[in-house]
Amino acid sequence: MISLQRSIYDPGYVNAMSHFYRGEMGRIMVWRQRLDITTNWAITSSTAIITIAFANREVPHIIFFFNLAIVWVMLWIEARRYRFYDAFRARIRMLEAHFLVPMVMENRDLLQGEWKKLVCEDLILPCFKISKLEAIGRRLKRNYVFIFILILVAWVTKIFLHAPMAMDSVPSFYHALRVGHIPSWLVAFIFVATFISVIGITIYVSKKSSGEISEFGTHRSLWRI
C-alpha cells in the first residue's frame, strides 16, 4: 500500500495525467466553440428578421413566427452540443478536484476515493451527465432567454407600429394578430406558449441545477486583486 502511494507522484504517472488533462481540455474547448457558433446563428438570424420586419411596413408580423422556429431549432442543436461539452467538462472537473488539488496541497490523503474508477468507467462507456431538459434550461438561462424576449418584444412592437388601424383596446389588439388565413387565436397561442415555456423552463432548471460555476465561492475576497 505504501509503495502504491509513493507511485502517485511518479514522474511517468504525473506526465501521463498531465497529457490526459491537456487533451480533455482541448476537447471541451472545441465543443465550447461549437456552442458559440449556434448562438451566433440565432443572434444573426434574429437581427436580420427584425431588421426586415421594421424596414418594410408590408411585411406581416407573422415573420416573427419563423424567427421563433429558427431560434428553437438553434437552441435544440446547442443543447445537444452542450451535453457533449458538459460530459467532457465533468472529466476535467474530476481531474482538477481529485488530482490537481492534492498535488497543489501536497496531501496524499485527498487522492483516495473512487474518482479513478469513475474516470476509467467514463472513458470505457461515456455517458451524458445532464438531461436534455437541463441542457436546454442552462442555455436558455445563459443566452437564449434574452433572444426570445427580444423577439417577443419586437413582435408586439411590430403589431402596434404597422397595424392597419389604431389599437385602443385589448380586442382591437387581438384582432390585429390575424394574418391572412391564420386566425388570431393561433398567433396568440404561439406567443403565450413561447413566453410561458421559456420562463418556465428557465426557472425550473435554475432551481434544480447549480450550473457550471457558483456566483459566490469560498474566500472570494481573496481573488479581488
Q: How many domains does the chain have?
A: 1
The answer to whether residue 224 sits within a structural domain is no
Residue 1 has pLDDT above 50, yes or no: no
- Where in the sequence is the domain holding 13, given as residue range(s)? 2-212
Quick check: is 220 in a domain? no
Contacts of 195 by beta carbon, 8 Å cutoff, 6+ apart: 148, 152
The answer to whether 128 touches 86, Cβ cutoff 8 Å, is yes
The whole-angstrom separation of Cα 89 and Cα 96 is 10
Grid coordinates belonging to 64 = 416573427
Q: What is the pLDDT of residue 153?
A: 92
pLDDT band at 75 (very low <50, low <70, confident <90, very high): very high
pLDDT of 113 reads 65
Question: Would residue 64 count as lying in a domain?
Answer: yes
| Overall average pLDDT of the 49-68 stretch | 90
Q: Is residue 199 part of a domain?
A: yes
pLDDT of residue 3: 45
Task: Return the ∠ at Cα 8 (arms to 110 and 10), rounded to 5°.
Answer: 150
More confident residue, 41 or 160: 41
Q: At residue 203, what are phi and psi to the nearest 5 degrees?
A: -65, -45
3-class DSSP state for residue 165?
coil
Q: Region 56-61: what's the mean pLDDT?
A: 86
In a domain, 218, yes or no: no
pLDDT band (50, 70, 90) for residue 109 = low
8 burial type by CB count under 10 A (0-12 exposed, 13-18 middle, 19+ buried) = middle
List all residues 6 or more positions away from 92 whose beta carbon is below 8 Å from its beta carbon.
21, 24, 25, 28
- For position 179, what pLDDT does the model report? 81
Taking only the tens place, the pLDDT of each residue in 130-186 is 889 999 999 998 899 999 999 999 988 888 887 777 667 777 777 878 887 888 888
Digit-coded pLDDT (tens) for 5-40? 545 567 777 888 888 888 888 888 999 899 999 999
Judge whether 107 and 61 are in contact, CB under 8 Å.
no
Task: Report residue 2's pLDDT band, with 50, 70 and 90 as the boundaries.
Answer: very low
Residue 26 lies in a domain: yes
Domain membership of residue 125 (yes or no) is yes
Tell me if 219 is assigned to some domain. Answer: no
Rg (CA), the chain: 25
Phi, psi of 128 (to 5 degrees): -75, 150
Across 44-58, 99-113, 204-218, least confident range: 204-218
pLDDT tier for residue 218 given thresholds of 50, 70 and 90? low
